[in-house]
Amino acid sequence: MAMRLGIVYHMPFWRTSDGALVEAEGSFARYVDALAPYFDHISVCAPERSAPAGEGTAIRAKNVTLAGLPYFEGPRQFYPQMFSMVAHLAKWTRDLDVLHCRVPTPAAFPAYLLARRRAIPVFLLVVGDLRGLLPTLPYRGLKRWLFRAYTMWEERGLAVMTRGAVTFANGAALAEKHRRAGVEILETKTTTLTAADIADRMDACDGSPIRMLTVSRIDPRKGLRVLPAVVQQLVDRGRDVTLDIIGPPVGRPGEAEREAIEHDAIARGVAGRISFAGAVPLDRLLRRYRDYDLFVLPTRPGEGIPRVLLEAMAAGLPVVTSRVAGIPSLVRHEENGLLVDEPSAGAVASALERVIADAGLRRRLIAAAYEVARAHTLDRQAAWMMDQLRGRLPIALRHASRLA
């Protein structure tokens, strides 16, 4: 009997002229490909664009199809279309044997309720923390109230779903947040890596300028506004550094954040050292990491574990990031990266200066990070998750996992 998996999430897809399915960011497409060997058919229920949004990343597996939802970018576009969304989800879930929800996402809770009504088993992957974002939100007035109300709705929905579904969470902090009496949460670490993505260089910072990299959506919640001051402080210490920021701005707050970073860089006299590269498709991005010497991400609460940290580790980049959310369950301070307790410009610049100045520390961080990256490839993550499902859900997966 064929085993049909449905996956619901909010990352948009589009169809090419030859029928290929393409996802803009790429991490979700790779994740779907990693699950494809375990099911006869996978149907992805996600927003569908009518036209391409850049280069994107194509789904490679031949047993994946798209059940396109009316296009939405977030809850503000989803809920006004709620009736048509639920009708679409109701029709879609009728043909599933298993439902998988990556959460938080607006479509997950209605899809879950429809699946449970039909006695379809469900598993979740929790990848973010909306409640953790609230203190850093740029919204005021009605917008802030509406986002708070949406967060409460998602949190209540998650509380219901975790009681009736096998639940994986991205990192220790998210696992601990959702674990409670009678609710088992399985900790994992989301990844985009294959074994071929892991580099072999053993040192960096051996040229001039020293090239620093940040990969992140540009958003007030990501803490990027400290970066011009970080660059200025390193220059004042005699370091010839540059910084590239790869990632798109998120809505109007993201555009305003980018402008603020640009203006601050001009005011500090480091505008020529900071550049914005926009969105880069994942397959090209993974190769591009290797052009840099250091990776810095001064992110704030609301994350699970940013997958870009593993990507940087795999490329041989020493990582400097914040001690928030699930990050310390991946980045171990002074072992495979450096953590700052508060992502201020001074703390981040001092951590980067340590890595630049101390070749022994730098090499140790790189070598240990490779070990972490090898342990967290997509095929290993998928194999482990499927092993956990075998003992917990009444499903027959297509083949045995191969955990080395």
Which pLDDT tens digit goes with each residue over 179-188? Answer: 999 999 999 9
Same domain, 175 and 257: no
Give percent above pLDDT 70 in the chain.
96
Kindly report the number of other CB atoms within 10 A of residue 220's CB atom: 19
Residue ranges making up the domain that contains 227: 195-375
Averaged pLDDT for residues 268-279: 96
Same domain, 182 and 215: no
Same domain, 223 and 369: yes
- The pLDDT score that the predictor gives to residue 164 is 96
- The pLDDT score that the predictor gives to residue 145 is 84
DSSP bridge partners of 337: 333
Each residue of 45-104: pLDDT tens digit?
Answer: 999 999 998 888 999 999 999 999 999 988 889 999 999 999 999 999 999 999 999 999
Q: What is the CATH number of the domain that holds 181?
A: 3.40.50.2000
Same domain, 154 and 232: no
Q: Is a pLDDT exceeding 60 seen at residue 150?
A: yes
Sign of the alpha-carbon dihedral angle for 334, 327, 352, 244? positive
Single pTM value for the model? 0.91
Domain count, the chain: 2
Same domain, 99 and 143: yes
Averaged pLDDT for residues 8-21: 94
CB-based contacts of 341, cutoff 8 Å, min separation 6: 323, 347
How long is the chain?
404
Same domain, 236 and 158: no
Mean pLDDT of the chain: 93
Confidence category of residue 146, pLDDT binned at 50, 70, 90: confident
- The pLDDT score that the predictor gives to residue 136 is 66
- The pLDDT score that the predictor gives to residue 403 is 53
Max alpha carbon distance in the chain (Å)?
A: 67
- The pLDDT score that the predictor gives to residue 291 is 96
d(CA 175, CA 169): 5
Same domain, 109 and 174: yes
d(CA 280, CA 245): 11
Same domain, 336 and 386: no
Each residue of 352-381: pLDDT tens digit?
Answer: 999 999 999 999 999 999 999 999 999 999
Question: Has residue 187 been placed in a domain?
Answer: yes
Q: Is a pLDDT exceeding 90 seen at residue 211?
A: yes
Averaged pLDDT for residues 204-208: 93
d(CA 393, CA 161): 15
Question: Has residue 402 been placed in a domain?
Answer: no
Confidence category of residue 170, pLDDT binned at 50, 70, 90: very high
Q: Is a pLDDT exceeding 60 seen at residue 304?
A: yes
Question: Has residue 307 been placed in a domain?
Answer: yes
Same domain, 186 and 247: no
Same domain, 180 and 271: no
Q: Please name which of 339, 340, 355, 345 lies closest in space to residue 293, comparing C-alpha atoms.
A: 355
Same domain, 383 and 265: no
Structure tokens at 63: 């047993």
- The pLDDT score that the predictor gives to residue 404 is 46
- The pLDDT score that the predictor gives to residue 137 is 66
Question: Has residue 397 been placed in a domain?
Answer: no
Same domain, 178 and 209: no
